[in-house]
Structures are given as structure tokens and as C-alpha cells.
Chain A
Amino acid sequence: MAWLVLLPCAVVALYFIWGFGAYTVFLSFTKSSFLPNHQVVGFAQFAALFDDPRWWVAYRNMFIFGGLYLFSCVIMGIVLAILLDRVTVGETIFRTLYLYPMSLSLVVTGLAWQWLLNPTSGVQQIMRDSGFEDFAFNWLASQDYAIFTIVFAAVWHGTGLIMILFLSGIKSVDGEIWKAARIDRVPTWRVYFNIILPQLRTTLLTAVMLLGFQVVRSFDIVVALTNGGPGFASDVPARYVFEYFFQRGKIGQGAAGAVIMVATMIMIVLPYLIFEVRRKD
């Protein structure tokens, strides 16, 4: 009986996830252009991919975006969790305010920030209208800075979750610690940084995994906020792959990009995961 019940699950895991994944890896070694084509051409698609300056921009952006996004969310999340742990009145309100963006889709997030960051209508204009005429904040229109606007919006969307993770972690720490700390006259901030936070390594692991997942999936927010522009300065692999699959009709090259995307993720996540799991044992 148990086996019969697991059958759909097995189909999902073996066909829709691993089977599909394997097929796309296979496609990256084929001539596929417009339609999938099973003629194997070796590493030609990877060569074409590595030859494309656009790919390198997108690939580099994944690291810029990923690094800043992870760093900002974790730091802001921890700080906010500590601050909220200190207040007694209004915790619920502030928590709700910090957390609600999480319920919105990334498309909505991207569109909302687009209005706010648009140099001719958003923040820049508000500041200029209120008397700061030289105020400049035009990152959305800048090749060098557009990728940071995506970080901005994504951090807005993701920080709340990290804050909640750490807040529940902090609250679950034994109350005796506080009593002991008070007796020893240890300053509050030292209790947090030297005693409580080191106990929350698993929470950090969870946070990093959740956020890392978002980085690789960063398709929606890029499409809605900058659509990869100006030019293709804020493109990311997830969007690049999509464009080469369905707009440019270069399925093989797109698949090669997807494979590199996954390989990169494995190379980064695996050592960390192994390190953490080993440490636990």
C-alpha cells in the first residue's frame, strides 16, 4: 500500500524533477536551436555561451546580486530581530510591517520599486521638489548601478523572513542566560553577539539556504523591475536562459547557461552544507 501511495511522488521526483533536469543537461550538448534537436555537438553550446559577453555580465550580476542580497538580508534581519527583542510595546505592529512584503509576489515588488526608483517620478524627484535640486539618485537608469536597485527591492522583500527566523531563535534561547548575564554585569549587546548568536548557527544555515534559493530563481523581480536593462546591464542568468530558450530560439545555448547556473550553485552550497553537517556530527 505504501508503495502505491508513493507512486505519484516517485513520478514527480524521477520524471518531473530529475528526469527533466537530466534532459536539459542533455540538450546543452545538442544542436538544439529553435526546437529541441537530439544531434549531439559536444561542448559547442558552452563555447558559444562563454563567447557571449552578455552571459558574463549576467553571470557576474548573479554574484553581485547574490552576495549583497544575502549579506544585507542577514545583517538587517539580525539587527531588526535584536531590536524587536528589546521592545515590549508595539512589537507586533513593527513585526507585521517588516514582514508583509514577503506575502507579495516578486512581480508586484519589482513594479512597485520601479515607480519609486524611476528618476523622473520617484525618490529623486521628491527630493528635488522638496528643495534639494542637485539630489541625484538615478540608479535605475545607470548601467553600473541598475543591478543594485534589484538588490534594494529584493532586500525589501526578503529581510522580514530572516528577521522572523532570528527573532524566534533568540526567543527560544534559555532565559537563564539573561539572569546570569545580569549578575555578571555583562553588557546587553555582548550577550547577543557573544552568547546568543553563536547558538543560532542552524538558523543562519536555514536563512542562507532560503535566500540562496531566491538568488538562483531571481527571474520575476528582474523582469518586472529592469527587464535586464539598461541595455543588458542588470541581466541575470535566470532571465538570460529564459530569453535564449524562448525569444532567441537558441535552446542549446540557453540549456548550457542553465547547466552552468546549477553547477555554480552546487559548487557554492555544497561545501557549506558539508561543513555544517560535519560540524553537527
Chain B
Amino acid sequence: MLKQRTLKTAFLYAVLFLVALYFIAPLYVMLVASFKTLTEIRNSSIIALPSEWTLDAWKKAWDGACTGMECTGIKPYFIATFEIAVPSVILAILFGSLNGYVMAKWRTKAADFLFAALLIGSFIPLQLFLIPLAITLRELDIFGTTVGLILIHTVYGIPLTTMLFRNYYVNIPDELVKAAIMDGAGFFKIFFNIILPLSPSILMVSVILVFAGVYNDFLFALTFGETGKKPIMAAVQNIVSSSYGVKEYNLNIAAVMISALPTLLLFLVAGRFFVRGLTQGAVKG
């Protein structure tokens, strides 16, 4: 009986371990390759450890890799992405939390209607927005600029943040708000003094989700990115696909690794917020 149990447990762990290999393999392959020299990449198996560890590829990918005549590495794109992401995150959360507050605590037919419009609308594929978006940005004279991308990410981040905050605020007892109204507190006072202090965890969730969304965005980056200051995902794809006579795999892989680091670290540090946001907020309507 006991033996059978041990066997079962061993089998269970064996399966879990095998599955873990599938998930680890790509990251492992990229990591070891990024520490190899180009010659070694060509002559050794992709799973072999580097015989000589080198950081050259990482350094060059960061500030020395070329596209065309520019040899700036991915550093400027990295910075540009943060210039876009930080304001977008702040704005989307600001609007989202206020929307959520109104929709959860000052319910009107119109607010319910708007919520439904946002919720259903967020299922429309982004491709449908590209052409009118280009026209709108042109009319505002912010096409191909950082401001343009901030606007885009704020606009399309609002449905997500609104949903997150609304669903969170619905669970705050209405009595709290009613009591505050009795005390003569106004609309904003209630929001800032009562609602917001109760929201640190949902704020965290929103920051992470919106940031990851903006940072990992490719479609808008590709279409509306500023000349020479493309957001990271478009830039990385550009670097990887362009090449001098010989493709420098280690360099490309290092560039991809660097571009993956921020969200990866965020996940490792604050993974539980990641998970909570995706599992609880996003869809439960």
C-alpha cells in the first residue's frame, strides 16, 4: 500500500517535471545562446552550455547593435517604451478608477449602458481600429509620436481598468458611501478619502496588467511607432530580422532577452497580482 503510494507520487513528480521541461526549454535555449560567441553557436548544440561565458552579446545588443547606419542597440527603444508606458499606465488607471467608482457606486442606466458598451467593445479585434486611428492621429497632428501612442494606450487601456475597478468597488459596502453622503462629503471627497484608500491591491493589479499590455504591444508599436523611436517589441523584431551579411544569433537572442526582462521580473516579483488580475478582474462581469 505504502509502496504503491510512493510509486504514484514518483510518477506524479515525473510528469510535472517533464511538463516543466517543455516550459523551460525555450528560455533555457535563449539564455545559454546569449552567453555564447557566434562561432560557438554555429558549432555547438543549442542545448550545450557555453564553453566560455561571455557578456559581449548582451552589451552589444544593449547599445551597439545596428539597424541601417544607426548602431544604438535597443537602449533608446527601451527608454522610449517607458516614456510611453508610464504616462499611459497613470492615465488609464486614473480614468479607470473614476469610471469604476461611478459605475459601481453611482449606478445609473447610462453608466450601466456605458459599461456594457466598453465590455462588449473590448472584444472587437484591434485591427478594426487601425485605419480610423491613423486618421484621428493625423487630425490631432500626433501621428508617429510618443503622445500619439500614449493616447492610444490610454484609450484602449481604459476598458480593462474600468472593468477591474468596477468589479472591485462593487464589493465595497454601499453603506460606507451612504454614510459619507450623510456626513456631507462630495463626489470626489468620497472617492479620495474612502474608496481609494481601500484600493491598493487593485491598483497594483492594474499597474501590472496595463504596463505589461503596453510594454508587450506589437501591433500599435509597429503601426504608429515614432520614426527612430519605435517601442521595444517593434524594435526587437526589426533588429532580429535585419542583418548584416551574417546573422549574429547571439546578439539577436540577447536583444530578445533584454526586451523580455522587465515583464519577466515583474512577474517573478509580483506574480500573485498578475495572476489575480487576470483570473478575477478581467472577465467576471
Are chains A and B touching directly in their complex (CB below 8 angstroms)? Answer: yes
Q: Could you list which residues of chain A lie within 8 angstroms of chain B, going by C-beta atoms?
A: 1-3, 5-6, 8-10, 12-14, 16-21, 23-25, 27, 36, 80, 83-84, 86-87, 90, 94, 96-109, 111-113, 115-116, 121-122, 125-126, 129, 156, 160-161, 164-165, 168, 206, 209-210, 213, 216-217, 219-220, 223-224, 238, 241-242, 245-246, 251, 255, 258, 261-262, 265, 269
CB of B278 within 8 A of CB of A161, answer yes
Contacts of B127 in A (CB 8 A): 219, 238, 241-242, 245, 258, 261
CB of B118 within 8 A of CB of A9, answer yes
Per-position 1/0 for B63-104, Cβ under 8 A of A: 000000000000000000000000000000001001101110
Chain A interface, >50% SS class: helix
Q: B167 in the interface, Cβ–Cβ < 8 Å?
A: no
Contacts of A87 in B (CB 8 A): 9, 12-13, 16
Contacts of A224 in B (CB 8 A): 218, 237
Give the CA-CA distance A213 to B126 in the complex, in Å: 11
Task: State how many angstroms separate the Cβ of A167 from the closest Cβ of chain B.
Answer: 9
CB-contact partner of B133 in A1, A20, A90, A125, under 8 A: A20
Nearest residue (CB) in A for B162 is A9
CB-contact partner of A17 in B159, B186, B283, under 8 A: B159
CB of B12 within 8 A of CB of A165, answer no
CB of A125 within 8 A of CB of B121, answer no
Q: B201 in the interface, Cβ–Cβ < 8 Å?
A: no
CB of A103 within 8 A of CB of B132, answer no
CB of B129 within 8 A of CB of A21, answer yes
Ranked nearest first, the 3 interchain pairs of A and B with the lowest CB-CB distance are: A105-B216, A103-B267, A17-B121
Contacts of B256 in A (CB 8 A): 108, 111-112
CB-contact partner of B26 in A27, A86, A112, A206, under 8 A: A112
CB of B128 within 8 A of CB of A20, answer yes
Give the CA-CA distance A220 to B231 in the complex, in Å: 14
Q: Could you list which residues of chain B lie within 8 angstroms of chain A, going by C-beta atoms?
A: 9, 12-13, 15-16, 19-20, 22-27, 29-30, 33, 45-47, 95, 98-99, 101-103, 106, 108, 110-111, 114, 117-118, 121-133, 135, 155-156, 158-159, 162, 186-188, 212, 215-219, 223, 233, 236-237, 240, 249, 252-253, 256, 259-260, 263-264, 266-268, 271, 274-275, 278-279, 282-284
Give the CA-CA distance A160 to B22 in the complex, in Å: 12
Contacts of B102 in A (CB 8 A): 2, 5-6
Task: State how many angstroms separate the Cβ of B257 from the closest Cβ of chain A.
Answer: 9
Contacts of A86 in B (CB 8 A): 12
Give the CA-CA distance A246 to B19 in the complex, in Å: 40
Known A20-B132, A36-B131, A108-B256: A121·B46 in contact at CB below 8 Å: yes
CB of B267 within 8 A of CB of A156, answer no
CB of B135 within 8 A of CB of A115, answer no
CB of A9 within 8 A of CB of B236, answer no
Give the CA-CA distance A213 to B160 in the complex, in Å: 13
Contacts of B233 in A (CB 8 A): 105, 107-108, 220
Task: State how many angstroms separate the Cβ of A124 from the closest Cβ of chain B.
Answer: 11
Contacts of A223 in B (CB 8 A): 218, 237
Task: State how many angstroms separate the Cβ of B232 from the closest Cβ of chain A.
Answer: 9
